[in-house]
Amino acid sequence: MTTYDDLLESGQYHENPELPCMPVEAFIRRWHSHKRLVEPAQRILYETIAEQVHGLNVCDAGSGAGLGSLILAQEAQAVVGVEIVKDAVKFSNKCFPVKNLMFIHSSITDFDSPIAFDAIVAIELIEHIADYHSALDSIRTLLDDDGVLYVSSPNRNAPNVGRDTPRNERHVREWTAGEFQEILSLYFSDVRLYDRTLILQNTDTILSPILAVCTR
């Protein structure tokens, strides 16, 4: 299996914090054979959300290999990727040394930011966290009073998602759209469900992943 270090060693990168944010396609062409950077469905979600965060300070919770954060950085004023896998943070900081983007090694639950964020993005993250209540509470704390959370998760009602036991062994829990909205409503006053292109959905939807947009 290709590791983050393998990818680093095979690239031609220069650590220059003043490098302007390069087009996403430049990185995708370089790493097109490494699907682990971002799944197609997740890329669509990031691109959709990027259009909503123009000029904002954004946290990408569970930033993984960093490509999603880079997509957000095309529009946002600044993006901080928070990732629990140390090697992924090392990879992201090396590969994407752009001036409005940085990556920090931390869980979202333990992350302590000196600023409140205008928006937090959590793509396919919550289902990986056993204590998702603590994670959601931390996310709410990290948001500005007028901030917005964009959070996605598999929809347990979808035909290709395991109904009782998640098919993905790394998922602790998966929810139906209605259950997802109910959990999020414990922490946010307004929770609306969408598909990956921000078309409004109801709680009976079988589309997956489901995207929730939440405000305090």
Q: Which two tokens stand for residue 110?
A: 């333990």
pLDDT digits (tens, 9 = 90+) for 10-67: 543 333 333 334 444 555 554 544 444 567 778 889 999 999 999 999 999 999 888 8
Q: Who wins on pLDDT, 11 or 90?
A: 90
Q: Would you state the torsion angle of the CA atoms of residues 168, 171, 173, 179, taken in this order, to the nearest 10 degrees?
A: -80
- DSSP annotation of 126 reads G
Alpha helices in 51-160 (DSSP H): 67-73, 86-95, 132-142
Of the listed ranges 2-6, 127-131, 168-172, 203-207, the least confidently predicted one is 2-6
- 2 in any annotated domain: no
Inside any domain, residue 7: no
Cβ pair 96, 118 in contact under 8 A: no
Residue 3 lies in a domain: no
- What total of structural domains would you count in the chain? 1
For residue 210, which of 187, 189, 184, 180 has the smallest C-alpha distance?
180
Judged by DSSP in three states, 49 sits in helix
Range of the domain at 80: 14-215
CATH number for the domain that contains residue 100? 3.40.50.150
Residue-averaged pLDDT of the chain: 82
- Which band of pLDDT confidence, cut at 50, 70 and 90, is reported for residue 86? confident
Query: What per-residue confidence (pLDDT) applies to 180?
Result: 95
